[in-house]
Structure 1
Amino acid sequence: MEIIWSDMALHQLDGILDYVEEHFGASVSRKTLDDIDSKVGRLLLFPESGTPDYSYSSKLLNDKVLIRHLNIGPNVVYYNIDGEIINIMVIAHYRQSTVTVVKMINRFIEHHTK
């Protein structure tokens, strides 16, 4: 198995870490990164450990691909499993609107199905 972060998810992670560092300090930002890295890394051993997100899977992919999510502190990591690859699609704050999350996942899907 291999974990691949989308460019969008990496950009979102950078934004989260910048925000945390600015508001809470560098040590909290490092801890946030460690927590995210550790929990995402566990997917290599337990790829199906994330909660299946049937609503996004149905809305966006007609149930062809199952989108899963991990809650990590106030952040949610959305991913899917494609054979031996775990695609980290999006990382967003748990209060992010559903409409915005759908748009972000759509961008990922459009970019990766061409």
Structure 2
Amino acid sequence: MEIIWSDMALHQLDGILDYVEEHFGASVSRKTLDDINSKVGRLLLFPESGTPDYSYSSKLLNDKVLIRHLNIGPNVVYYNIDGEIINIMVIAHYRQSTVTVVKMINRFIEHHTK
């Protein structure tokens, strides 16, 4: 198995880390990154450990692809499994609106189904 972060998810992660560093300091930002990397890394051993997110899967993909999510602190990592690839699609704050999350996942899908 291999984990691949989308460009969008990496950009979102950078934004999260910048925010944490600005408001809580560099050491908290590093701990946040370590926590996210550790929990996402566990997907290599337990790829189906994230909670299935049937609402996003059916809204966006007519249930053809199952979207899963991991809750990591105040952030949620949305991913899917495609054979031996774990695609990290989006990382967002848990209070992010459903409409915004759907738009972000749609952007991922549009870029990866061409």
Task: Please report the TM-score for the alignment, with normalisation by the length of structure 1.
Answer: 1.00
Q: Could you tell me how far 1:2 is from its partner in structure 2? A: 0.0
Q: Which residues of structure 2 form unaligned runs of 5+?
A: none
| 1:54-80: CA deviation from partner (whole Å, max 9, x where unpaired) | 000000000000000000000000000
| 1:28-55: CA deviation from partner (whole Å, max 9, x where unpaired) | 0000000000000000000000000000
CA distance, structure 2, for counterparts of residue 38 and residue 71 of structure 1: 13
Which stretches of structure 1, 4 residues or more, deviate above 3 A after TM superposition?
none
Task: Please report the TM-score for the alignment, with normalisation by the length of structure 2.
Answer: 1.00
Aligned to 1:47: 47
CA distance, structure 2, for counterparts of residue 95 and residue 57 of structure 1: 19
Q: Could you tell me how far 1:105 is from its partner in structure 2? A: 0.1
CA distance, structure 2, for counterparts of residue 72 and residue 31 of structure 1: 12
Q: Could you tell me how far 1:82 is from its partner in structure 2? A: 0.1
Q: Could you tell me how far 1:111 is from its partner in structure 2? A: 0.3
What CA RMSD, in Å, does the superposition of the two structures yield over aligned residues? 0.1
The percent identity for this pair of structures is 99
CA distance, structure 2, for counterparts of residue 18 and residue 59 of structure 1: 31
